[in-house]
Chain A
Amino acid sequence: MPGYLADLAVPGALELAFVRSPFAHALIGKVSGPAVTATELGVGDLRLGGHGVAPWPWPALARREARFVGEAVAVVWAETRAQAEDLAESVEVEFEPLEPEAPLRLFERTIDAGAVEACFQRADHVLERTFSCARQTPLPLETRGVLAHFEAGRLTLWSSTQIPHILRRGIAQALELEESAIRVLVPEVGGGFGLKAHVFPEELVAAQLARRLGRPVRWIEDRRENLLASVHAHDNEVLMRAAFGADGRVLAVEADLRCDVGAYSVYPFSASLEPATAASAIFAAYDLQGLRVSARAVTSHRCPVGAYRGVGTNTAVYVTERMLDLIARHVGLDPLEVRRRNALRHLPCTTLGGRELDSGDYLELLRRVESVSGYEALRREQAKARRHGKLFGIGLALFNEHSGTGQSEYRSRGIEEVSGLDACRVRVTAEGRIVIHTSSVEIGQNHAPAYRRLTERMLGVEPGRVDIEEGDTDVCPPGTGAFVSRGAVGVLDAIAGALRLAGEQDLAPGTDVTCSIDPKQVFPSGAHLAVVEVDAVTFVPRLRRYLAVEDCGTLIDQRTVSEQIRGGVAMGAGKVLLEESAYGEDGQPLAATLLDYLVPVAADIPRIEIEHLVSPSPISAQGSKGVGEAGTIGAFGAVANAVADAVAPLGAELLELPYGPQRIFAAIQLATTSKQKKGRRPGG
């Protein structure tokens, strides 16, 4: 595909612009001007089926009321984007602001496993803390975009998407078209990180207008729209209680998660995405005797919450790893030792949260982190730095994560819209070239070397003879797309299956075979270490060093794995230190530009040291596990703990992300005030 979506030259394409709500909650009155509203558009809702999730669909255009700032209320079009924006500005909407609605509960997941009560009764210590994970947004550098063209009864939709087949399904359903009447094409994608794994209102609008107007219709999102009205992520508050012995052994954990999922339930994941993934990931790398979790999705007048690299696992690992450091401090043990004492020792096993961990060696991960980082020397360096008045912190994280979620898991969560299957079609052309089509899509992961290497290994075909063509629903087999780190799991298994079938036909020209796989989740793991220095005057935290020991099973292409880990760590560090889609009390977004929504730049990220440990998965055919999210997830624990460790000598306790200078300053202030109060207490 030549270029990114905005680079596609389509003669005669009309440009869309949206009229968006300036209010968090308002009745929509008269709309004057050359705009199309929901009534005139006539597009149905994206139905989110399944048990357990209350339907709360995000309409293509707001109907009676707007429910968050930035929600699309009407649409206009013109020959150029500038003209379209002028038109949008000329549209007058009579809004009647409303009071916020009481939060609705859309989904709840509970886990109650093991002897929770008994553990809390006999534990030497109980710690309770409330953590919060900021609302954030994936911020791919390329914003969303869609180009729709309806011709001869067929809709062609170019979209910057991670999910071509799910998009086709969603559009078919909302526009009442046959799926076969829709072709989704994916050009080069300028990053996704989960954001582009949803079917969006703007895509429905563009498709419907292309059908209506008989001309190609294009919409390129601007950054303000992206920050306000694409998807956000996380926004979780977690009340956690841990029962543990004087030896630092954790017996049982209770957690109550409240996930603010915003104004609507996203398609295809629904509002269950964040709470469902977070719930089962709490303390998932550790040996517990009791676990009780309640995780709820509740609505608000904010942008809907969807997927962002790591999804709920980020929150779960953050609260787990922060709690372990607080436990270590409470019993006077080193954080590494506390993790060693609590890490799961015998894999495979099923955790109390229901995760069927396929393989891994968590103690070895910790040993590697200890030896490669020179842990003891590092602690001595820290002691020295502290004597010189420096705020120097070391943070650890041990974690696992799910990758390659299949059909049965989605069905059990009540999600019908995600097939969960991964598929590959292999063709041999008349010239003898091997063409690999998959249900996945290239969004920067660099699939080609891994696919070519596998082809070479299995069939002895030199890489130069292999072409990879993804992102075209007319020629690619139906499947799930590119998310939940499924590339090295189901997609690779499907490729291997299709290559085997093609091999059985001796790769004869004309060979055309397809293999579809229902993958079972496999669990990569990792132990990460971060070193952070917090400026003693400005309280700006700086990441000084980072070590990731990762285990994603068999390495298919080591360079690709390292790139995913490194980029993931940088993104995770940004999420811990900088990123926040903040809102004011009135529901107005406070981060509408990249000067308010901060992400890391080159000066913020040190060289990331990466070590590979290999525990092949007995489940995936290649022994590999997904690696797209592990870097981000690990950084949530390690970077957060490093910042917290840096300011711990001041008595400050950090609980609310992101750990920027304001939060650090507030925590230090709080610690100083409470110390003074204690000091003043009579007889104290």
Chain B
Amino acid sequence: MNVKISLVANGLEWAGEVEPRLTLADLLRDHLALTGTHLGCEHGVCGACTVLLDGQAARSCLTLAVQADGRQVTTVEGLSDDLLPRELFQCGFCRSGFVCSAEALLRREPLPRAVELPELLAGNICRCTGYEPILEALSARLPG
């Protein structure tokens, strides 16, 4: 039996009926055409599908669409390209997850210590860059 939900995605209201088993990731990608959120493992490890749920980082592959009922969802499409520009990446598949994780981190903790960034971003896998360009871009935003 489908469930009625409504949520705000990147500032736009969405309401509809969904299967209870539908993941938030599939809702975003297949029903809202927000394909910037990528699926890398669908079991909550790689971080590619990370979005913001009421401002906090959430794995959209492990979150059910019904759990997002009445909440604010922000995906990479709703965030600035400047935080982690595309050219920092190679294949780019992990980027959306890094952007959301970094955004959530900076909202929670506006001034993290640069040395702590690698641990703070250890929930996202990148297979191409060796992480340095991503970490450097974030460090460059921090004072001192």
| Whole-angstrom CA separation of A495 from B121 in the bound complex | 39
Which residues from 424 to 482 on chain A have a C-beta closer than 8 Å to any C-beta of chain B? 443-446
- Which of A142, A569, A608 is in CB contact (< 8 Å) with B38? A142
Stretch at the interface among A40-48, A256-264, A299-307, A598-606: A598-606
With A141-B48, A608-B132 already in contact, 7 other A-B pairs whose C-beta atoms are closer than 8 Å: A141-B46, A191-B91, A192-B91, A566-B130, A567-B129, A594-B46, A607-B132
Q: Is the CB of B129 within 8 A of A141?
A: no
Determine if B72 is an interface residue (Cβ-Cβ < 8 Å).
no
| Whole-angstrom CA separation of A189 from B30 in the bound complex | 20
Determine if B21 is an interface residue (Cβ-Cβ < 8 Å).
yes
Determine if B12 is an interface residue (Cβ-Cβ < 8 Å).
no
Q: Is the CB of B128 within 8 A of A594?
A: no
Determine if A188 is an interface residue (Cβ-Cβ < 8 Å).
yes
Q: How far, in Å, is B5 (CB) from chain A's closest CB?
A: 17
Give B contacts to A, CB under 8 Å. 19, 21-22, 26, 29-30, 33, 35, 38-43, 45-46, 48, 89-94, 117-119, 121-135
Give the residues in chain B near A222, CB-CB below 8 Å. Answer: 42
Give the residues in chain A near B129, CB-CB below 8 Å. Answer: 563, 566-567, 570
Q: Is the CB of B132 within 8 A of A605?
A: yes
Q: Is the CB of A603 within 8 A of B92?
A: no
Max chain B Cβ within 10 angstroms of own Cβ: one of A7, A140, A599, A602: A602
Give the residues in chain A near B130, CB-CB below 8 Å. Answer: 566-567, 569-571, 605, 608
| Whole-angstrom CA separation of A192 from B38 in the bound complex | 16
- Which of B19, B29, B94, B119 is in CB contact (< 8 Å) with A141? B94
Q: How far, in Å, is B26 (CB) from chain A's closest CB?
A: 8
User: Which 10 pairs from chain A and chain B are nearest by CB?
Assistant: A190-B93, A444-B91, A570-B130, A444-B90, A594-B45, A7-B35, A566-B130, A191-B91, A602-B131, A602-B118
Give the residues in chain A near B125, CB-CB below 8 Å. Answer: 141, 594, 599, 601
Determine if A375 is an interface residue (Cβ-Cβ < 8 Å).
no
- Which of A9, A223, A602, A608 is in CB contact (< 8 Å) with B40? A223
| Whole-angstrom CA separation of A189 from B46 in the bound complex | 17
Q: Is the CB of A4 within 8 A of B38?
A: yes
- Which partner residue on chain B sits nearest A193 by CB separation? B127
- Which of A142, A190, A443, A602 is in CB contact (< 8 Å) with B122? A602
Q: Is the CB of B42 within 8 A of A223?
A: yes
Known contacts A142-B38, A223-B40, A599-B125; A443/B131 CB under 8 A: no
- The secondary-structure label for the interface of chain B is loop
**Mask of A164-201 contacts with B, CB within 8 angstroms, 1/0:** 00000000000000000000000011111100000000
Q: How far, in Å, is A219 (CB) from chain B's closest CB?
A: 14
Determine if A139 is an interface residue (Cβ-Cβ < 8 Å).
yes
Give the residues in chain B near A6, CB-CB below 8 Å. Answer: 29, 35, 38-39
Give the residues in chain A near B26, CB-CB below 8 Å. Answer: 82
**Mask of A552-573 contacts with B, CB within 8 angstroms, 1/0:** 0000000000010011011100
| Whole-angstrom CA separation of A525 from B86 in the bound complex | 30
- Which of A140, A193, A566, A601 is in CB contact (< 8 Å) with B132? A566
Contact residues on A (Cβ < 8 Å of other chain), bracket: 35 or more
Determine if A33 is an interface residue (Cβ-Cβ < 8 Å).
no
| Whole-angstrom CA separation of A563 from B119 in the bound complex | 22
Determine if A3 is an interface residue (Cβ-Cβ < 8 Å).
yes
Q: How far, in Å, is A85 (CB) from chain B's closest CB?
A: 11
- Which of B38, B121, B132 is in CB contact (< 8 Å) with A190? B38
Q: How far, in Å, is A447 (CB) from chain B's closest CB?
A: 11
Determine if A595 is an interface residue (Cβ-Cβ < 8 Å).
yes
Known contacts A223-B41, A223-B43, A602-B117; A570/B91 CB under 8 A: no
| Whole-angstrom CA separation of A516 from B29 in the bound complex | 41
- Please list 20 pairs of residues, one from A and one from B, whose beta carbons are closer than 8 Å in the complex, sorted by A's number: A3-B35, A7-B29, A141-B46, A141-B126, A142-B91, A143-B40, A190-B38, A190-B93, A191-B91, A223-B42, A446-B90, A566-B132, A567-B90, A593-B45, A601-B121, A601-B122, A602-B119, A603-B119, A605-B130, A605-B131
Which residues from 575 to 628 on chain A have a C-beta closer than 8 Å to any C-beta of chain B? 593-595, 599, 601-603, 605, 607-608
| Whole-angstrom CA separation of A188 from B128 in the bound complex | 14
Q: Is the CB of B40 within 8 A of A570?
A: no
Q: Is the CB of A443 within 8 A of B91?
A: yes
**Mask of A281-325 contacts with B, CB within 8 angstroms, 1/0:** 000000000000000000000000000000000000000000000
| Whole-angstrom CA separation of A314 from B97 in the bound complex | 31
- Which of B93, B124, B132 is in CB contact (< 8 Å) with A4? B93
Give the residues in chain B near A599, CB-CB below 8 Å. Answer: 125, 127
Known contacts A142-B40, A570-B130; A601/B124 CB under 8 A: yes
Q: Is the CB of B134 within 8 A of A602?
A: yes
Give the residues in chain B near A594, CB-CB below 8 Å. Answer: 41, 43, 45-46, 125
**Mask of A1-43 contacts with B, CB within 8 angstroms, 1/0:** 0011011010000000000000000000000000000000000
Q: How far, in Å, is B21 (CB) from chain A's closest CB?
A: 7
Q: How far, in Å, is B30 (CB) from chain A's closest CB?
A: 8
Q: How far, in Å, is B118 (CB) from chain A's closest CB?
A: 4
- Which partner residue on chain B sits nearest A189 by CB separation? B91
| Whole-angstrom CA separation of A569 from B131 in the bound complex | 11
Q: Is the CB of B91 within 8 A of A140?
A: yes
Known contacts A9-B33, A141-B126, A601-B123; A445/B132 CB under 8 A: no
Max chain B Cβ within 10 angstroms of own Cβ: one of A193, A601, A608: A601
| Whole-angstrom CA separation of A141 from B91 in the bound complex | 9
| Whole-angstrom CA separation of A189 from B90 in the bound complex | 10
Give the residues in chain B near A571, CB-CB below 8 Å. Answer: 127, 130
Known contacts A445-B90, A602-B122; A570/B131 CB under 8 A: yes
Give the residues in chain A near B33, CB-CB below 8 Å. Answer: 9
Give the residues in chain A near B40, CB-CB below 8 Å. Answer: 141-143, 223
Give the residues in chain B near A563, CB-CB below 8 Å. Answer: 90, 128-129, 133
| Whole-angstrom CA separation of A7 from B135 in the bound complex | 27
